Structure 1
Amino acid sequence: MLLLTLILTSAKLEGLTSHQVVSGISPVISDASPLEYLPQYLDLSDNDNSMEDTNAEYRTGFRSGHGDRFECKPCICSHSLSQYILANCSSRRLRDVPDSLPPELWLLNMTDNEIQLFNPESVLRYKNLNTLIISYNRKITHISNETFSNLTSGLVILNLTKNSISTIDDGSFRFFANLQQLDLGENSLTNITAGMFLGLRSLRNLNLTKNSIVFIENSTFDEMQHLKLLDLSLNKHLSYTVRKFPPRVFEKLFRLQSLYIQGNTMGDHSYPNSALQKLTNLKILSSDALLNCTFGPQLQSLKHLKELHLGTNCRLKNLTRDFFQYIPYLNTFVLSGCKLVYIDPEAYSNVPNLHTLEISHTSHTYDLYEAFDHLIGLQNSSLKVLRLKFMYRTHFPCRELHAQHAKYLQHIALEELDLSQNRIALIGLDFIRLLSRTLKKLVFNYNKITPFSFNLEQLAFLNNLLELDVENQKDDSNDFNSNDFSLATDSDHSIAPNSSTTLCNSLLYKTELHKNQALESARVPLKDSWPVKLPPNLSKIKASEFLDYGFFILGHVFQDNCSLKEVDLSDSYFSNWGDLYLSPPIKKIDLSSNYCRRINPKFFSKNSPLVHLNLQNNFLGDDFANDKYGNIFRNLNKLFYLDISMNLIYKLPNRFLAGLTNLETLIVSDNKLQLLNLTFRHLTRLQLLDFSRNSITGITESTRDDLDALAAITDFELDLTFNPLPCTCSGIELMKWLATTKVKLINQVNLQCRLENDVATSVGDLKERLNFLQRSCISKSLILVVSILSTMFVAVVLGLLLMYRYRWKLRYLRNVAIAKFIGFEPKKPQQGIFKYDAFLVYDSDDMQFVLNECVQELEVRRGLKLCIGDRDFMPGTYVASDIVSAVQNSYRTVLLVTPEFYDDDYVEYAVNMAINEAIHTSRQVLHLCLYQPVALAEMPRDLVAILKRNEFIEYPPEEEITPGLIENFWDQLTAAARQTD
């Protein structure tokens, strides 16, 4: 059962239908990494949630594309859901199977490498290996048996497709006693011998499709008595002759159930009946259809043969009355790609249990109308499934169906009717009314139906209808060859082409009913719409790539007995959902790829039962960014799957997910989101958050706290791969969280980040990256701190030096300000008149000289007004301010210089204040009076400068004092101090 699951699942992932699988097109692993999907099906046989979960059918295997990848050089490994180790070694130019992978390896993918010789012994070291894929290694031409090992491998599946294998040594696979599936398709094998498959006694599936086989040894399959599926298709030199298919070739295949030999004949005249008659348990046979040939009486022994597929090389033109004579047990007959001309109405009478009939791709020689006419022999038969696909003549651009086409169809109790790819543009109400009420599935995809020519309410009488498929309704009228136009005739309701490209559209108005429907636009406002009556049990509608059909589904409300649960309206250019309404019964809807720009919060009804919502590939980024309070999804409290990837999302508000209390899977990949700032704490059932392929450079602290809180109560996964995460000092907090959080970060090998120089790189091991950042950022921080402190120190030192250099100027300015503040403002001289003629600055030892002699001579006798600190300064005031005020209000500041002059505390200050006053007022302020001799070397520079300017008076030495000299001294001092007009 697991093996069949593997085959069907891989086929699905390859884009193959179940018909293709059972038609001999063997499932092969694509050149994309199997690690992308193998974990999805490894657990399919173990998981069955449908028994208890009523919404199980709408759930998506979210873990299928996600896994905890880790590096296992030279490959990338991951775990499946069952914790199997899977190794992806594809496209790495390897020449052999690596020997350094984990010993518990379960699956190994060696696709697209440079292996030249495959030796089966190379995988024996991996005792738990279950699946080995070595495809697309075009240099492999030979499978060798160059070993004497007696070990046995537990390998179950071996895929060697799409190589260049031409020879296989005898016994090469003897190590694989447990092998159940061997795929050698698309190689260059020519001769198939028994020795090639020695030891494969457990083999169930053998695929030899698309080789160049010309010979099969009689005893080739004798050891494979458990074989159930054998694919020999598409070997163009393996014709149906006795030489190519000897009578005993299948003799030992008692358990074979499926045989594919189509695509081999080149004009044979008989089927290999003698070889086929040995396959008594055969259930499925896929073969070419030969011209004027039927299966022989030897096949009467195949009582279990239920399915017959004829196609590929199909030369059958007439299906005669005796075609099924010797294969009467069939319940499924598929005929594809034949240039069919005629089917005898009595041909089906020999298959009384026929359940499924499929006729397709009849090469424009046998069309849909003829097929309807030849159903006469199936009236009241057991037929349940009828598929008539791709049956039209090239010169008819479109078709219409009416009552005459259903005259035999109405008498067949069908459960499925598939009329895909028939260029049907109009389905008449008279045709629909004749459909069997037993129908469960109706398929009209790949036709030319429009919303106006197909009224869903017309099917309301089909009480058993479960599924309607009207996907891909397109007009391909322009693809027709104009050379075929002359062959057309307007008969039997086929429409022949003419110069007008709107001919098919004219079918919309052929009846009054459709005309009225066309005039009634499908875009009816919801408030004006009427309740739509659907088939009571219809649960699924598939209408992708059906332009405007979404307006009918979402532009109306449904009646109360509606059972519609699943709708697909993807790829329909359904671009505005602002005035529409999603009816309550629907649980799953696909609105992807509609280029929608607007969604209204009222689009989802209150208490909506919706559980699965796909909005991928639209333009909803602006609406999402403005949804500050989570109004868009507030009614979706039952939703567990939401896909909003590829929507040009650049911002999601913090409360965007507020209403999604049951959300399990959120896909926001492939957007432009830069900052992750969402509230997740209420999403207690969360299983997956996919934010891959965005522009995320930050996650807010509150969001990180929410994620950590969730990780403590639920085992969910977070995908941040392919985002430019910051591997910088500014992003160290985020990197620290990533390295230490309990949140399960999946695909860590694909985590990317940007360095300080904006170069992208792989994050690698998160803890190592964090340690590196911490070391580098600490050194940078240290350098920054030292630089700042050094700069501050230098600035302080320079400031102190400058303050010292200009200390007197600063003192002067300070004290001028203080003086003004406390009221000692200088009296502005009017016409050059100052308050004082001179401010005398002297040492305290010379106070008597100043108070007695200077006052007597200068004030009393000569009329000068002096400012003397010991006399004129008001007690209790700020001396420094008094000095500044005296300097500013005196015409001259006279310094009585003696050797002890600078011993007084305020003398130096008064001198410097006078110097600064001279600088600021540009007037001569200082004048020296050398009262006692002072050596020039002992004088300050400022006083020396005054001496050099000859702005001084010298008091006569004591030994030279005469009345005349004294008088002259006072006269000179008076002249220097007296104010002049």
Structure 2
Amino acid sequence: MDLIVRLEPRLRLDSPMMEDDVVGIRRPLLFSFCFLFSWPLNSCVGFALKDCRISKDNAICSASKLRAVPGDIPASVKTFDLAANKISQIRAGDFINYTALLQLDLKRNSISQIEKGSFTSLRSLRKLNLNNNRLAQLGDVFGGLSNLTELRLMSNDITTVAPSSFQPLTNLTVLDLSFNKLKDLTKVHYALQHLPNLQYLFIRKIGLTIFQSWELTNSTVGLAYLDMSQNYIDVFSISADVFQNLTWLNIGGSQRKQKLSWKIDEPAGLSRVTTLDISGLRLAQKDARGLFQSLNFSLSTLRMNAMKSNLRELLNMSCTIPTLTQLQIRCNTLRQVDSRLLRLCSSVTKLDLADNCIQNMFNDSFRALQGLKSLTLSQNRLSLVPPAVRNLTRLLELDLSSNNISSLGCQDFADLGNLRVLGLDQNSISTVNQCVFKDLTKLEVLKLQINQITELNSAFKIYLPNLRQLKLDKNKLTAIRQGDFEGLRSIQNLSMQRNQLCKLENGSFVGLTMLTDILLQSNEIQETDITAGVFNDLINLRKLSLLDNRIKYKSSSALPSAPFSRLSRLETLAMAGQHSRGRFQLPRNFLQGLTNLLIFDARNVQLTSLHQDTFKYTPRLQKLDISSNELTDVSPRLFDPIQDLRSLYISRTSLLSLDFLNEANLTKLEFLQARRNQYSVITKEQMGALPALVYLDLQGNSFLCDCDNTWFLQWLNKTETQVFDAYNFVCNYPQHLKGLKLLDLDVGSCSVDVEFIYFISTTCAILLFQLAAFTYHFLRWQLAYAYHLFLALLYKRKFRNRQPECLYDAFVSYNTHDEDWVFRELLPKLEEEQGWKLCLHHRDFEPGKPIIDNITQAIYASRKTICVISRRYLESEWCSREIQVASFRLFDEHKDVLILVFLEDIPVWELSPYYRMRKLLKKWTFLSWPRAAQCTDLFWEKLRQALKTRDNVGGELLLLTVKDST
């Protein structure tokens, strides 16, 4: 899938920059919003979006203050909702990737311009909504929408439509151009020619004053639905058979004093219309007669609402049409209905007289309507059930809602044995007598909500055996007595919301074995009212709502008898919002018997804890809501029995972390909502315990902005879990980062970049290898010499403060290849003839002691060091160390301790690798044996003098010298 990423500078963790300096960042993460208990279990793949949310395949970006189409929506979405934003322009690349999109909603924006090619990629699009924008002209902007079936352009400023504008829309069936400024259909005439499959055309309130059928010629062959309402049409002319398939026509809705001129020159012009709405029109008698004559064999539904005059004449004309079955005459100010009003409407089976201010109705008002099946008298001023309805023996539906009826009599519904639906809601009924419904043996739906009923008076003990649904909401009932509903053997839905119920007796619901849904929210029910026995008869109950009552338990100890032990088929139990003061404890066996419970809602009941055995009776539980409670701790064992849990709501609790998830067995959890808690750190272990998680809502938590949340931030960037509102997560700690967006935090300094380290290490290794090769090839001798020089310095420092006494006159440093000269020439002369005591390594070094220690100790135990130098000597490691130690002693003590004797003539350039040797030769004289070949006595005399001298460091000691010519 294609995701557009826009990155901007981010704040480093150690930066002093505050919130006002932070630049936002847009990138694809993952998230969405799902309404409580409507979250689909297999909803979607995950995405976290900045301004939108994903639900199933729907991208919801409505009311997000967007000024442009966001680019981070997954290309796989099927619907895209951008309604109620501030988008002013649609650009060519805005929808380039959405080839699978089926529905696009752009209503309520400020769109005034659509670039050509903007919809080219939407080849699968079926519905496009551009209502309530600022489009003034329609050009060739719908290219590529060959599969579009519905286009809505209502409430723009459209004045003209290009002839080729709709040409790509070959499959369009619905077009809405209502509430624009076209004024004349000729402006869309040529554009409509390209819509061969158009069936529904809406052109309400576009400023039409004259309609002539030729304006739609060849464009409406298949048109079935035409809505031209709220136009001030003066002339309606049909001169050709352009409505061959039209069945629904609305030209009403505009109340004008001027009468509409109706001209039908084509006899078959409206011959197939079945539904006609002429509400609010003023028709001359001649025109009205011509209209109804043209509809004589097709019209079945007629709406004549708000007809200010000639209503009786129009009824007399229309009711002669034998096919007319449905008649709506609302808002006509009929204060009373007599037998003459509807005397010709014998074919009508559905009559709507709502909102007519009717106060009186004669007993024979419906005498002519013996086949009437549905009667609506709502929103009138009736003070009692009109006796006229008793004659309608075939009546199936009767709506008397929103009147002033205060009481019901035993004969009010006599002879209405076929009635199926009865609406008495929104009246002032205070009592219901036992005999009121005695004749309604087939009644299935009874609406009594929003009245003043205080007692049921056994009204449902015997009668209404076929009732399926009973609504008693918003009355003043205080108690349900034993057997109050005993006669309702077939009831499935019972609603008693917003009463004042404070007492439920045992046997209150006896006989209601077919009941599946009961709504008891917003009453005064207490825990003593739901003791064992109250619900025992509801063996087929699926949903029980006890929201917003006064149920409170003080202990989690097991109850003697569980209140729902017989409700084994219950799937939904809602107990949220109990109003009792004090803390709430849920008894550990409260849910005993609910083996098929799927949803448990315990929001805002002041729970402080949950016993770990609470859910051991509900193994199939899938949705659990314990939000808005004072829970400080949740045991992981609480979730052991409910391993099928899919959705968990723990928002606004006192939990400080989600650590309980680490050990809870919630491997199937897909939805987790944990808003407005104190979760400062989200860990890898917590999210790792939820492998199936699809949706995560952590909105409003107090996040810690430091390295502890490094893993969470990295997880947000790569997870497939939707994280709702992630772009608005803010830091609360530390103080200098408070208010900073969490996703703007740079945690690069918190983690080691292994790849970067590998790169640096490899680079350094290569450079080191190259340096070593270069050094070996060009500087190996200088390097070797420096190494030995360092070792000599090290050992010199070791012995400088603990010098032994001078045991020898001289230490002789030589190479083994030169020992023949040492033993044959040097020793006899110096020891035997001159009497000096020499130190030789082969006889005077201490066995078992490190060589370097022997060398150093021998040099510092001798007054002088005689170095017998040859080419072999210069190449010897140990000889080099001996001369180095001796030279350090020379420079450190400023004593004449070093005597150089060369056995070979060695040019100065050959001494280049031996930097210290060259340095010595620059400053000191030396003896050369080859040059003393003709005068050996002088050589030995000079050597004797050198051994004899002590502190004359700077004097010339020898006559035979060699200068460095470089």
TM-score of the two chains, using structure 2 as the length reference: 0.57
- The one-character-per-residue Cα deviations of 1:743-773 (angstroms, maximum 9, x if unpaired) are 3241458584532799999966646699999
Question: The residue matched to 1:105 in structure 2 has which SS?
Answer: coil
- Residue 161 of structure 1 corresponds to 131
Please give the alpha-carbon distance, in whole angstroms, between the structure 2 residues aligned to 1:385 and 1:175. Answer: 48
**1:447–1:177 Cα change, 3 Å:** same
Task: Measure the CA separation in 1 of the matches of 2:310 and 2:652.
Answer: 52
2:443 to 465, 471, 474: 465
User: CA shift at 1:376, angstroms?
Assistant: 2.5
Report if aligned partners of 2:550, 2:580 keep a CA contact under 8 Å in 1. Answer: yes
The 5 A counterparts of 1:271-350 are 274=264, 278=269, 282-291=273-282, 296-298=289-291, 300-301=294-295, 305-311=299-305, 318=312, 321-325=315-319, 328-341=322-335, 343=337, 345=339
1:741 counterpart residue number: 690
* 2:394 pairs with 1:418: no
Could you tell me how far apart the structure 2 residues matched to 1:67 and 1:750 are? 20
Encode CA deviations 1:314-359: one digit per residue, 9 max, x unaligned: 7775475424247543443333333234556466566655443322
CA contact (8 A) 2:392 2:416 kept: yes
Alignment partner of 1:630 is 2:589: yes
Q: Distance in 2 between matches of 1:88 and 1:708?
A: 29
Pick one of 31, 52, 55 that aligns with 1:76.
Answer: 52
Question: 2: distance between equivalents of 1:277 and 1:668?
Answer: 66
Q: CA 1:622–1:389 in structure 2 vs 1: closer, same or farther (change >3 Å)?
A: same
Aligned to 2:112: 141
Partner of 2:432: 454
1:83-102: CA deviation from partner (whole Å, max 9, x where unpaired): x3x33334455444345543
Query: What is the deviation of 1:125?
Result: 4.0
The offset of 1:128, in angstroms, is 1.4
Summarize the Cα distance change of 1:593–1:738 in structure 2 as closer, same or farther, 3 Å threshold: same
Partner of 2:350: 356
C-alpha distance in structure 1 between counterparts of 2:548 and 2:355, whole Å: 31
State whether structure 2 residue 466 is matched by structure 1 residue 538. no
1:154 alignment partner AA = S
Any idea what SS the aligned residue of 1:186 has?
coil
Deviation at 1:590, TM superposition (A): 5.8
- Greater RCO (CA < 8 Å, at least 6 residues apart): 2
- Partners of 2:538 and 2:665 lie apart in 1 by 32
Q: Which amino acid aligns with 1:338?
A: N
**1:349–1:377 CA contact under 8 A, matched in 2:** yes
**1:207 paired residue among 164, 176, 179:** 176
Q: Which residue is equivalent to 2:541?
A: 587
Give the alignment's Cα RMSD to 1 decimal.
4.8
Separation in 1 of the partners of 2:689 and 2:389? 71
- State the match for 2:526 in structure 1: 576
Hey, what's the Cα distance between the residues in 2 that align with 1:345 and 1:695? 70
Cα offset, 1:643, TM superposition: 3.1
Kindly report which structure 2 residues correspond to 1:493-512, keeping only aligned pairs within 5 A, or say none.
none
Kept after mapping to 2: 8 A contact 1:288/1:310 = yes
Q: Does 1:660 align with 2:636?
A: no
Alpha-carbon distance, 1:254 to partner? 5.0
> Hey, what does 1:269 align to over in structure 2?
259
Q: Which range is displaced more, 668-677 or 178-187?
A: 668-677
> For residue 424 of structure 2, what is the amino acid of its counterpart?
F
What amino acid sits opposite 1:596 in the alignment? R
Amino acid paired to 1:229: Y
SS of aligned partner of 1:666 = strand
User: Structure 1: where are the runs of 5+ without partners?
Assistant: 1-33, 41-59, 394-398, 476-504, 509-520, 780-981
Letter of the aligned partner of 1:269 in structure 2?
K
**In structure 2, distance between residues paired with 1:429 and 1:196:** 66
Structure 1 residues 595 and 467, CA gap change in structure 2 (3 angstroms): same
Give secondary structure in 2 for the equivalent of 1:322: helix
Alignment of 1:107-146 (within 5 A): 107-118=79-90, 122-138=94-110, 140-143=111-114, 146=116
2: CA distance between counterparts of 1:756 and 1:705? 26
Distance 1:61 1:71, change over 3 A: closer
Cα separation, partners in 2 of 1:420 and 1:557, compared to 1, 3 Å: same
**Against the structure 1 CA distance between its residues 708 and 184, is the aligned structure 2 distance closer, same or farther, given a 3 Å change threshold?**
same
Q: Distance in 2 between matches of 1:224 and 1:620?
A: 64
Q: Measure the CA separation in 2 of the matches of 1:590 and 1:164.
A: 49
Cα distance, 1:413–1:102 mapped onto 2, change above 3 Å? same
Q: Which residue of 2 aligns with 1:726?
A: 679
Q: How does 1:516-915 map to 2 (within 5 A)?
A: 529-530=482-483, 532-545=485-498, 547-548=499-500, 550=501, 556-558=507-509, 560=511, 563-571=514-522, 573-576=523-526, 578-580=528-530, 581-582=534-535, 583-584=537-538, 587-589=541-543, 591=545, 594-598=548-552, 603-604=563-564, 606-607=566-567, 609-619=569-579, 625-631=584-590, 633-677=591-635, 679-683=638-642, 686-692=645-651, 694-699=653-658, 701=660, 704-709=662-667, 711=668, 716-724=669-677, 726-728=679-681, 732=683, 735-739=684-688, 741-747=690-696, 750=699, 752-755=701-704, 766=715
Q: Distance in 2 between matches of 1:578 and 1:720?
A: 32
- The 1-side partners of 2:505 and 2:184 are apart by 61
Aligned to 2:491, the other structure's residue is in SS state: coil
Alpha-carbon spacing, 1:409–1:460, altered in 2? closer, same or farther (3 Å)? closer
Q: Is the 8 A contact 2:645 2:666 kept in 1?
A: no
Q: Using the alignment, how far apart are the partners of 2:527 and 2:365 within structure 1?
A: 46
SS in 2 for 1:408: helix
Number of the residue aligned with 1:927? none
Q: Identify the structure with the greater helix proportion.
A: 1
Alignment of 1:172 onto 2:141: yes
Instruction: Report the Cα distance in structure 1 between the residues aligned to 2:440 and 2:136, rounded to whole angstroms.
Output: 57
Shift of the 763–618 alpha-carbon distance from structure 1 to 2, 3 Å rule, reads farther
Give the C-alpha shift of residue 371 in structure 1.
8.0
Amino acid at match of 1:635: G
CA distance in structure 1 between the aligned counterparts of 2:710 and 2:181, rounded to whole angstroms: 47
In the alignment, structure 2 segments of 5+ residues that lack a partner are 1-30, 210-229, 458-475, 554-558, 720-742, 753-966
Q: Once the 2 structures are TM-superposed, how far is the Cα of residue 185 of structure 1 from its aligned partner?
A: 2.3
Identity across the alignment (%) = 17
Alignment of 1:443 with 2:423, yes or no, is: yes
Q: What secondary structure is seen at the aligned counterpart in 1 of 2:422?
A: strand
Secondary structure at 1:202 match in 2: coil
Out of 376, 381, 387, the position equivalent to 1:406 is 387
Change (3 A) 1:174 1:341: farther
Q: How far apart in 2 are the matches of 1:172 and 1:276?
A: 39
- 1:765-802 CA distance string (max 9 Å, x none): 646699999999999xxxxxxxxxxxxxxxxxxxxxxx
What displacement does 1:420 show?
1.2
**How many residue pairs align between the two structures?**
643
After superposition, give the CA deviation of every residue in 1:53-75 in whole Å (9 maximum; x if it has no partner).
Answer: xxxxxxx7542997665224x54
